[in-house]
Amino acid sequence: MQNFLYTSDVFKGSRYGRGHPLDMDRVWPSVELVQMMGWIEEKQIVKHGPAEIEELIKFHDIDYVLALKEAEDKQTLPEKIKKKYNIGIGNNPIFSEVFSRPATAAKASISAIETIAAKKADRILNISGGTHHGRKSEAYGFCFLNDCVLSILKAIELGFQNILYVDIDAHHCDGVQDFFLDNKKVNIVSIHEKNRWPFTGLVDDCKIKNILNFPVSEKFNDEDINFLINQFIIPYFKINCPDLLIIQAGADMLCGDPQSRINLSNNAYWKAISDLLSLCNKSLILGGGGYNPYLTAKAWAGNWVVLNENIELLDMDMNRECHELLKSLKWKNSRVKNGIPIEWISSWRDKKENYEISDEIISLVNEIKEIKKYEI
Ligand SMILES: [Zn+2]
């Protein structure tokens, strides 16, 4: 069966605004890298418009959605409304596409589930999705809408019984966990940096049946994530395989990302996703965090070949066109004040290095096994 990549033109030229961590291009460069490498047929790229209000209010409050729409139309909101909904405050600015951009990302995730449920595709990549902090009636952590929650709700509506959501973003998926606590049809797994915003996702939450949280330190390495995925997560869910897998593939745990202290290589990142896909053929891979445009665009472009079980394509040399595209991306960050590190823009894979599983991860796994009364 054919797999698809969902995107939209709204992501080209839309910016969160100067000085914002998302003042960069990530979505369209990922798609263009895939095209430039010849890894996709044109008919596999599907473009979407924004979701209808009716689709968004399956999770979000209507007054909040209407305020977000008004923020886009008028490019401002009354102060009281801004405060009430956290729109136009701090890191959730009012920008030109403040409604249509997140609504388009949400539409793609909802539509992906409909397409998979209708057996018109097995696997879909929605790079623009993964806005896991969004609340019912509040913008939070750069997320105005929560496409993760909306896609899971759509999956439940369409009859999926055993949905597994795995989030490998450096930040905990608080918006998703909060909404699906104790839901018998959904399991939520998150690997994230501990003691980092939003400061949720504690091990203690594992006492709740459908929650598995792995808060990890800045020393978390390539072997550690491989161990968590292959020695815990996969065997844990293999007993009762999910009928739908959603992976939030935030790329902010990669070495060189400014929003986490974790230093994974993209080799470990892609292997983790590839291994997780063995749990379920029906899968949706989302984007998420990722605040280094070069590393993020490569990571997400690579997810397309991972989704298609062609991970070996990532051993190819990067062609000139891709190199030039990456080189042209603008990023205002001290990490590039002396130029863009050549390894970020000249090869697909990071250098392979050897690591050992850290004691910290072994004791974390033992602690969680104890809570879950789980033996492998
Ligand atoms: Zn993140």
> In terms of pTM, does the model score above 0.85?
yes
176-185 burial string, b = 16+ CB within 10 Å, else e?
bbebbeeeeb
Give 376 Cα–ligand 1 centroid separation in angstroms: 30
Asked if residue 198 has a cis previous peptide bond (ω within 30° of 0), the answer is yes
- Taking the centre of ligand 1 as the mean of its atom positions, its distance from the CA of residue 170, in whole angstroms, is 5
Q: How far apart, in whole angstroms, are the C-alpha atoms of residue 243 and residue 49?
A: 28
State in Å: Cα 184 to ligand 1 middle.
26
Whole-number Å distance between alpha carbons of 85 and 43 = 39
CA 142 – ligand 1 centroid, Å = 10
Q: What is the pLDDT of residue 22?
A: 85
Backbone angles phi, psi at 97, to 5 degrees: -115, 35
Chain-centroid distance, C-alpha 56: 19
C-alpha span between 91 and 161 (Å, rounded): 36
Question: 360 is written with which tokens?
Answer: 């910290």
What is the distance in A from the centroid of ligand 1 to the CA of 26? 14
Closest CA to 284 of 48, 4, 30, 27: 4
CA of residue 43 to ligand 1 center, whole Å: 31
pLDDT the model gives residue 376: 63
Q: Which letter does DSSP use for residue 185 in this model?
A: T
Task: Return the domain boundaries, the chain.
Answer: 4-372
The class level of CATH for 4-372 reads: alpha beta
pLDDT of residue 18: 78
Per-residue pLDDT of the chain (376 residues; tens, 9 = 90+): 789 999 998 888 777 877 788 888 999 999 999 999 999 999 999 999 999 999 999 999 999 999 999 999 999 999 999 999 999 998 899 999 999 999 999 999 999 999 999 999 999 999 999 999 999 999 999 999 999 999 999 999 999 999 999 999 999 999 999 999 999 999 999 999 999 999 999 999 999 999 999 999 999 999 999 999 999 999 999 999 999 999 999 999 999 999 999 999 999 999 999 999 999 999 999 999 999 999 999 999 999 999 999 999 999 999 999 999 999 999 999 999 999 999 999 999 999 999 999 999 999 999 999 999 987 6
Determine the distance separating the centroid of ligand 1 and the alpha carbon of 290, expressed in angstroms: 7
284 Cα: distance to centroid of ligand 1 (angstroms):
18
Find the 49 Cα to ligand 1 centroid distance in Å: 25
Distance CA 158, CA 161 (A): 9
**Distance (Å, rounded) from C-alpha 4 to C-alpha 123?**
7
Q: 68: Cβ–Cβ under 8 A, 6 or more apart, which residues?
A: 85, 87, 98, 99, 102, 139, 144, 145
Give the residue from 189, 356, 351 showing the smallest Cα distance to 266.
351
* Rounded Cα distance, 7 and 44, in Å: 11
Distance CA 55, CA 136 (A): 13
Report CA(217)–ligand 1 centroid distance (Å). Answer: 15
Longest dimension (CA), the chain: 56
State in Å: Cα 41 to ligand 1 middle. Answer: 30
Tell me the C-alpha to C-alpha distance, in Å, between residue 157 and each of 185, 193, 273. Answer: 11, 32, 26
